[in-house]
A and B are shown apart, each in its own frame.
Chain A
């Protein structure tokens, strides 16, 4: 079964450093998402992306965050200057035809900001 893949599985960085989290969505999917989950808490929406532009973003997704689909297969989340509170599991997801259908999630990247 096709799946969403994320790399790396773990990322450790120093506060203030830039990180890029990478995702390869399912190949024929058109809608892409980033979510994050702080340990033991709920899954929080960050951003949705369609047709090479952001469709919606949450208040968490401030100017320090950006997304890109650089080459038609990858979907990246960049955090420009990481803060301690950015430590979380970051999940990429994709869906085939719209925002009102099931999302397929990757296994996540655990980001630890020291």
Chain B
């Protein structure tokens, strides 16, 4: 089965509101997590990462939360802007030599 997955395939958010994108993982050995943004026709772009010894990490307008108890990862985007429209992937490393991606959530920004 899949190790990394997402709860919702599509999320629509009003411009200026906060967005929360969720991700579930099943492998307890996962120790490094990343969020990527993919705009149409482009490769995935790194947003933020977090290691398993942390619960929260903040960047510019983005926050990643990690709940190891329930194996849940979330990406919060503050004051969502039109440029935030994209597909967002969570990804993980389980201690081996690869990063694996989840299915992706498409974020629509409503005017």
Contact = CB atoms under 8 A, between A and B. Distances in A.
Given A56-B98, A91-B44, A42 B89 contact: yes
Contact of A42 (B34, B41, B51, B101): B101
A107 B42 contact: yes
A41 B102 CA distance: 10
B93 A100 contact: yes
B101 A43 contact: yes
Interface residues of B, number: 25
A103 B97 CA distance: 12
A101 B34 CA distance: 9
Nearest to A95: B99
A106 interface: yes
Contacts of B51: 100
Given A42-B103, A102-B49, A103-B46, A48 B98 contact: yes
B43 A108 contact: yes
A42 B90 CA distance: 10
B26 interface: no
* Most chain A CB atoms below 10 A, which of B46, B49, B98, B103: B98
Contact of A100 (B31, B46, B102): B31
Contact of B101 (A45, A100, A104, A106): A45
Contacts of B41: 107
B43 A45 contact: no
B46 A99 contact: no
A75 to B, nearest CB: 14
Nearest to B104: A42
B99 A103 contact: yes
B45 interface: yes
Interface of A: 4, 33, 35, 41-45, 48, 50, 55-56, 58, 91, 93, 99-108
